Amino acid sequence: MSKRLYFLGIGGTLMGSLALLADEAGYIVSGSDKALYPPMSDQLHEAGITVYEGFEPEQLDDEPDLVVIGNAGLPRGHDGVETVLERGLTYTSGAEFLGRELLQGRWVIAVSGTHGKTTTASMVAWILEYAGMNPGYLIGGVPSNFERSARLGNAPFFVVEADEYDTSYFDRRSKFLHYRPRTLIINNLEFDHADIFDDLAAIQNQFHLLLRTVPKSGLIIAPADSDAVNDVIAAGCWSELTRFGGTKVKTSVEQDNGEHWQAVAAAPDGSHFDVAVNTEVVGTIDWPLIGEHNVNNALAAVVAARHAGVPATVAVAALNEFRGVKRRMELIAQREHLKIYDDFAHHPTAIRSTLQGLRRQAGSAPILAVVEPRTHTMSLGTLRDDLATCTAAADEVFFFRSPQIKWDLGEVVKHSVVPAQAFDDIDNMITEIGKRYADSANAAAGKTLHVLIMSNGGFDNIYQRLPAAIDAAAGR
C-alpha cells in the first residue's frame, strides 16, 4: 500500500516540486498552503494532487504516514505546525525528505552559490537530457527546455538546486547538507540571507560542511577568482577540484586537478563565446542568453556534465539549444520602441550583472530599471548602500517600496549614481513608466526603451498590468 504524505506549505518552489516528485514516485500526496500561484499551482493541478488553500486541522484527520513541513512562513505557532505536534504525527523537513527518500542511491549533481543556481542547474539538466540520459532534477524555477520544474528521471543522475538557506523551524542547517552530492558546483559566494546569517563567515561555515559531504571520488567545481570560495576550499577539500572563469590561481590544495575552464573570444554581451580548457578550445556557444554571469554558469555546467560522462563537445552543442529559464531576463512584452523584461535578480550583485549584460546588448538605447528590494536581506536594509550603485548601467531606476521595507528608500534615491525615484503605489509607478515610454518613443529617434523589472516576488502582478496599461494608453 502506498504511503500517504501531507505537505505543509505545498505551494513553495521546493515543496511543490517535492510533491510532484513524491507523486511520481508512487506516494499518495496532498497538502496545503496559505495561497497558491502559477506556475506551481498549475503543475500541482495537472498532476491531480489534492491541494487546500489555507490549513484546517480536519485535513489531517485521515492521518498521513508522514507530514513534510516547509520553511517559508511555517514557524512555531502556525496552526498546521501546532496540529502536527499536538497529534504526535511523524514529520520531517522538505530537504530531509528529498535527501533520504528520493536522492538515496542517486549520483547527485548539486548546484550551489549565492547567484545562478537555477540557471546553472537547468543547464546541467538540459545537457544530460540532450545526451540521452533522462536525468532526474529539481530546480527552483521553470526551465524553458522542460515542461516541469522537477522529475524523477530513470538515470543514476539527479540535478538539484542546492540552497544554503536553513531547512526548517526545527533544523537550522542549510538545506544542501541533506543532499550529499557527488558532483558539486559552487558558482560564487557572497553575503546574503541576513535574517539567518550574521555574516559571510557563517555562510562559509555551511559551505565547508557541504564540502565534507562530497566523497573523495567526487568533484568540486569552483570559480578561480572568488576569495570567499577559496577560503572555504582552503579550510578543507577532500575531493578533486576543477576551476572555471577568472584568472588561474595557485592553490595549496593538492586535489586541484590543474584544469581551468574559460571563455575566450567572447562577445561583450556574452551571447557568443568559445569554451576552452587550459587554452584548448572545445566548442563555441552562440545563444540568446546575455551577461558574464551566464558565461560562467555555462562553464560550470559543461564541467559538471563531463564529470557525469558527457563529452564537453556534446555539452557545448546542448547549450546552443538551451532556451533559458522563466523569470531570468525573460522578454515578457514587446511593442514598437519598447521591450519589457522580467528578471529574478534581487541581490545587488545580480542586479548589477544583469543590467551590465543588457547594456552591452542594448548599446546606447535607454534602459529603465524597475527594482523591488523585497528579500529578507533587503527588508533588513543590510545591502541598501549597494542599491545606490548597482544600477549604474541603467539610465534611470524606479524603486518600489514593498511592505517589508522598514527603512527609508529615499536615502538610496538621494545617493543613486543614476536618476532615481521611489514609489509606494504600484499604479503611480506604472503610470510613470508609461510616460517614460511615450517620451522615449517621441524623442529617441526610433531607439527602443528597455524596461527591466527585477524582483524575486509577484510584484503586485506588474508583469501583466504594465503591458496592459501601455496598450490601454495607446488605444489598443
**What does each C-alpha distance from 75 to 70, 174, 177 come to in angstroms?**
9, 16, 21
Cell 578533486 sits at which residue?
240
Instruction: Answer whether 249's CB lies under 8 Å from 214's CB.
Output: no
Rounded CA gap, 250 and 224, in Å?
Answer: 9
Query: What pLDDT, on a 0 to 100 scale, did the predictor assign at position 242?
Result: 96
The series of mean pLDDT values per 10 residues for the chain, 476 residues long, is 92 91 96 86 91 96 96 92 97 96 96 91 97 94 85 95 92 95 94 78 96 97 93 95 80 75 91 94 93 93 98 98 82 88 82 86 90 70 77 92 77 88 90 83 72 83 86 71
Q: List CB contacts of 412: < 8 A, sequence separation 6 or more.
A: 384, 385, 387, 388, 399, 420, 422
Q: Using the 8-state DSSP alphabet, how is residue 60 labeled?
A: G
As beta bridge partners, residue 469 has none
The residue extents of the domains of the chain are 4-93, 103-319, 330-473
pLDDT value for 44: 92
Q: Looking at domain 330-473, does it have CATH number 3.30.1180.20?
A: no
Q: Are 369 and 396 in contact (CB under 8 A)?
A: yes
pTM of the predicted protein model:
0.84
Other CB atoms closer than 10 Å to residue 220's CB: what's the count?
25
Q: Give the per-residue pLDDT at 344.
A: 79
Q: What is the pLDDT of residue 195?
A: 73
Q: For domain 103-319, give the CATH number.
A: 3.40.1190.10
- E-strand ranges in 34-177 read 50-53, 66-69, 91-93, 107-112, 136-138, 150-151, 157-161, 166-168, 171-174
CATH of 4-93, one of 3.20.20.140, 3.40.640.10, 3.40.50.720, 3.40.50.970: 3.40.50.720
